[in-house]
C-alpha cells in the first residue's frame, strides 16, 4: 500500500518546515509528499524547496481548490492530507496504513488537540467529530488529520462543493463519500496536534462564522439531496 500526502499551503513560512520535518521522521514514510502552493507571497516556496517534496501550484484561491489540485495530482492508492500548522506524530502514516488494511473503509480520520493549549486532552475534539457527524448524517473527516482512497476521490471529485464561504470542505467531502456508499472510520488513537491560531485571533467571530457556515452547508445539502 502506497500513500500520497497532500499539504495545501498559503503563506506558511513560519510553520511549514516543522511539518515537513515531522513527515520525514515518520516510522513509515509517505511515498510522495505534494505541497500545493496556493499563491503564497512569503518565503513558503523557498523553504519547501529545501526538502524532498513535489511542489504544484493552484492559482484559484481557496482551500477547496488547493485540496482538489493535490488530490488530482496524487499518484497512489491512499491520499492522506494535513495542514501546514500541524505536527505529525512519528507513527501517523503507519496508523493510517493499518486502518486501511484492517477496516473496509474509504476514509480514515481522528481527533486532535490544540498545540497552544495546556492540555493534550482530545475529549472535546472527539465530541466535535461525533456531534457534527450526527448533524450532517455521516461520519466526518477532520482536514488536518485524514486520509481517503484514491478510488473514492475519483467517485466524488465532480460532486464536492467548491464555495469555501458556504461549506467546510472536509465535512463536505465526508457527506459526498457517504452518498457514494463509502465508509469513514474514526480512529481514537490517530491524534494530531494542530494550531489554534485562527481561533485565538478572533474567538467569537471564529465560532460564529464556523457555526453559520456549518448550518448553511447542512441545510444546503439536505435541500439539494436526500440522504
Grid coordinates belonging to 21 = 520535518
Q: Write the CATH number for 10.
A: 3.90.550.10
Residue 121 has pLDDT above 60, yes or no: yes
Residue 1 · residue 28 · CB < 8 Å: no
Q: Considering only CA atoms, which of 196, 22, 174 is closest in space to residue 117?
A: 196
Cα 191 from chain centroid? 13
Q: What mean pLDDT, rounded, does the chain reach?
A: 92
Q: Number of folded domains in the chain?
A: 1
User: Among 69-78, 118-127, 161-170, 206-215, whose mean pLDDT is lowest?
Assistant: 206-215
Asked if pLDDT for residue 222 goes beyond 80, the answer is no
Q: Quick check: 227 pLDDT over 50? A: no
Range of the domain at 148: 3-224
Amino acid 218: pLDDT = 86
Q: pLDDT digit string (tens) for 132-148?
A: 999 888 899 999 999 99
Per-residue pLDDT tens digits for 53-95: 999 999 999 999 999 999 999 999 999 999 999 999 999 999 9
Amino acid at each position: 500500500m502506497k500513500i500520497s500526502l497532500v499539504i495545501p499551503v498559503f503563506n506558511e513560512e513560519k510553520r511549514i518546515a516543522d511539518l515537513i520535518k515531522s513527515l520525514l521522521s515518520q516510522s513509515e514514510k509517505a511515498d510522495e509528499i505534494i505541497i500545493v502552493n496556493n499563491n503564497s507571497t512569503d518565503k513558503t516556496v523557498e523553504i519547501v524547496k529545501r526538502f524532498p517534496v513535489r511542489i504544484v501550484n493552484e492559482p484559484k484561491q481557496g482551500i477547496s481548490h488547493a485540496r482538489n489540485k493535490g488530490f488530482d495530482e496524487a499518484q497512489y492508492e491512499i491520499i492522506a492530507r494535513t495542514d501546514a500548522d500541524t505536527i505529525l506524530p512519528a507513527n501517523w502514516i503507519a496508523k493510517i496504513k493499518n486502518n486501511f488494511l484492517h477496516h473496509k473503509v474509504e476514509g480514515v480520520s481522528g481527533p486532535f488537540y490544540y498545540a497552544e493549549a495546556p492540555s493534550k486532552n482530545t475529549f472535546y475534539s472527539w465530541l466535535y467529530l461525533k456531534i457534527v457527524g450526527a448533524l450532517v448524517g455521516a461520519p466526518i473527516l477532520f482536514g488536518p488529520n485524514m486520509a481517503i482512497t484514491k478510488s473514492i476521490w475519483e467517485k466524488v471529485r465532480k460532486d464536492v462543493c467548491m464555495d469555501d464561504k458556504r461549506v467546510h470542505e472536509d465535512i463536505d467531502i465526508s457527506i459526498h463519500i457517504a452518498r457514494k456508499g463509502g465508509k469513514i472510520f474514526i480512529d481514537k488513537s490517530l491524534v494530531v496536534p494542530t494550531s489554534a491560531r485562527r481561533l485565538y485571533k478572533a474567538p467569537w467571530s471564529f465560532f460564529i462564522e464556523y457555526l453559520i457556515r456549518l448550518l448553511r452547508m447542512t441545510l444546503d445539502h439536505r435541500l439539494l439531496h436526500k440522504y
